[in-house]
């Protein structure tokens, strides 16, 4: 297994290009199941999670061709479709459950394995099931698989979710676009990835209004056609790289970044003493005069502070002046990076969903282990701020969500390299 070696760094300078959003792309790819005509996605990120979705779609009968070194995905689903999403692929990645809505819409039935446990929490499927049931599906759990059937097709309905789940909103949207009549989803998730999916579906001929708000209205149509759609910028990759100059000093411009994608995160950076400025090409970040100040953070659904940036923000706050309180409200077990950061000299107390980070003057390099995708990158950021050498092992988590992380950071002057494992 590969590891990443990081040496404590001086100021960074230069530009980092931000890729298309993994989480948007993972929802856009299954939309190909909704039409016989081709769907082409441009600005796709080159990541192992995208390859897993490619494998899943291929197992269902869709064709996915990676062009331009993987930046363009040409997808098509004109032949016979297999309605069964197998456990062996689904267990690798929870986002596999995003084929449930489109399979049901196109075929009237679907058999999708439950994704199984995940390191950051239980992550059940009840909100997805309730949403699709509202559209007339009957869903039963048999031998670890959800068997969904819509006798006579899906029918438009008004449904309010108990929590604004991102995945359930995406499944509902992809099911409702081909349902008979009008659907309204209340308490819908408002994430930019939902807006991106709605735009793509509209380009395919769907009738959707209200994406980006809590009420989305969908007028079902008989069929969808082909389209070409650019994947929105990855706001989590953006936020992660914005933290690099915040931690090391210097000035970095994140190309393709937009403040509206990370507004709540920028507010916290500002309070922590980091200056953020939108430029013609992206977002420029540098430290204001003085050190990093403690700030309190609560993770919430968009437009609140994203849970996917909590671990990275914690890496910054480890060396802040004072005590920061981080409250995790989306996932019940998402502080696994805290004991690893403690190995580097961070002072963190975790009580349930709340972590208190007492700032220390300096972190020290250590051997640490990545426990999940965002935790692994937080350890790299912490390593950049530490004295000496940090080795992050189990970086396969990292490759799920960050393309060429070591190249992007090296280009702005970071001392980072990948050590190939056997």
Residue ranges that bind ligand UD1, judged by CB under 6 A: 23, 26, 94-95, 121-128, 163, 165-168, 193, 307-308, 330-331
Report in angstroms how near the CB of residue 353 gets to ligand UD1 at its nearest. Answer: 11
Whose Cβ is closer to ligand UD1: residue 129's or residue 366's? Answer: 129
| Residue of 25, 77, 118, 266 marked active site | 118
CB contact at 8 A, 165 and 121: no
List all residues 6 or more positions away from 135 whose beta carbon is below 8 Å from its beta carbon: 150, 154, 155, 156, 157, 159, 172, 175, 176, 179, 183
Q: How many CA atoms lie within 13 A of 346 on its CB side?
A: 32
Exposed e or buried b per residue across 152-175, where buried means at least 16 C-beta atoms within 10 angstroms of its C-beta: eebbbbebebeebbbbbbbbbbbb
Q: How many CB atoms lie within 10 A of CB 140?
A: 10
The DSSP-derived string for 114-143 is: ----BTTB----HHHHHHHHHTT-EEEEET
Report in angstroms how near the CB of residue 94 gets to ligand UD1 at its nearest. Answer: 5
Report in angstroms how near the CB of residue 95 gets to ligand UD1 at its nearest. Answer: 4
Whose Cβ is closer to ligand UD1: residue 106's or residue 235's? Answer: 235
Rounded-to-integer distance, Cα 248 and Cα 274, Å: 11
CB contact at 8 A, 190 and 159: no
Whose Cβ is closer to ligand UD1: residue 75's or residue 169's? Answer: 169
Whose Cβ is closer to ligand UD1: residue 241's or residue 305's? Answer: 305
Q: How many CB atoms lie within 10 A of CB 139?
A: 19
Rounded-to-integer distance, Cα 314 and Cα 346, Å: 10
CB contact at 8 A, 90 and 113: yes
Report in angstroms how near the CB of residue 175 gets to ligand UD1 at its nearest. Answer: 14
Report CA 280 to chain centroid distance, whole Å: 25
State residue 350 phi and psi, 5-degree precision.
-115, 125
Q: Is 32 helix (H, G, I), strand (E, B) or coil?
A: helix
Report in angstroms how near the CB of residue 371 gets to ligand UD1 at its nearest. Answer: 15
Can 318 be counted among the known catalytic residues? Answer: no
Whose Cβ is closer to ligand UD1: residue 57's or residue 166's? Answer: 166
Whose Cβ is closer to ligand UD1: residue 26's or residue 412's? Answer: 26
Residue nearest to ligand UD1 (CB): 167
Rounded-to-integer distance, Cα 79 and Cα 371, Å: 40
Whose Cβ is closer to ligand UD1: residue 30's or residue 282's? Answer: 30
Report in angstroms how near the CB of residue 85 gets to ligand UD1 at its nearest. Answer: 15
Report in angstroms how near the CB of residue 248 gets to ligand UD1 at its nearest. Answer: 26
Record the tokens describing residue 348, joined without a space.
């963190």
Residues belonging to the active site? 118
């Amino acid at each position: 297994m590969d590891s990443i070696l990081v040496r404590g760094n001086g100021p960074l300078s230069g530009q980092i290009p931000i890729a298309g959003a993994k989480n948007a792309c993972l929802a856009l790819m299954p939309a190909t199941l909704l039409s016989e005509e081709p769907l082409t996605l441009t600005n796709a990120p080159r990541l192992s999670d995208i390859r897993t979705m490619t494998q899943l779609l291929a197992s269902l009968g869709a064709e996915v061709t990676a062009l331009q070194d993987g930046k363009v995905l040409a997808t098509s689903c004109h032949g016979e479709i297999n309605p069964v999403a197998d456990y062996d692929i689904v267990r690798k990645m929870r986002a596999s459950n995003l084929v449930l809505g489109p399979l049901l819409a196109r075929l009237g039935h679907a058999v999708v394995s439950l994704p199984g446990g995940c390191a950051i929490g239980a992550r059940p499927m009840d909100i997805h099931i309730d949403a699709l049931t509202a559209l007339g599906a009957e869903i039963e759990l048999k031998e670890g698989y959800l068997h969904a059937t819509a006798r006579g097709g899906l029918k438009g309905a008004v449904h309010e979710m108990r929590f604004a789940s991102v995945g359930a909103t995406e499944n509902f949207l992809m099911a409702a676009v081909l349902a008979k009549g009008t659907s309204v989803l209340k308490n819908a998730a408002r994430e930019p990835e939902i807006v991106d999916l709605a735009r793509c579906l509209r380009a395919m001929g769907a009738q959707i209004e209200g994406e980006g708000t809590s009420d989305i209205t969908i007028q079902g149509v008989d069929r969808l056609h082909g389209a070409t759609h650019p994947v929105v910028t990855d706001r989590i990759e953006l936020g992660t790289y914005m933290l690099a100059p915040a931690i090391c000093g210097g000035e970095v411009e994140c190309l393709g970044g937009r403040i509206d994608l990370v507004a709540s995160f920028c507010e916290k950076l500002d309070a922590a003493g980091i200056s953020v400025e939108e430029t013609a090409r992206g977002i420029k970040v540098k430290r204001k005069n003085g050190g990093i100040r403690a700030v309190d953070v609560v993770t919430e659904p968009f437009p609140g502070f994203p849970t996917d940036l909590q671990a990275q923000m914690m890496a910054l706050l480890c060396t802040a002046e004072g005590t920061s309180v981080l409250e995790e409200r989306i996932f019940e077990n998402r502080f696994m990076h805290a004991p690893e950061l403690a190995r580097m000299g961070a002072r963190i107390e975790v009580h349930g969903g709340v972590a208190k980070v007492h700032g220390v003057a300096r972190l020290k390099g250590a051997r640490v282990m990545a426990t999940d995708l965002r935790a692994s990158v937080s350890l790299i950021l912490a390593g950049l701020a530490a004295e000496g050498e940090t080795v992050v092992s189990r970086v396969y988590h990292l490759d799920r969500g960050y393309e060429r992380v070591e190249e992007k950071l090296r280009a702005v002057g970071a001392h980072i390299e990948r050590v190939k494992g056997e």
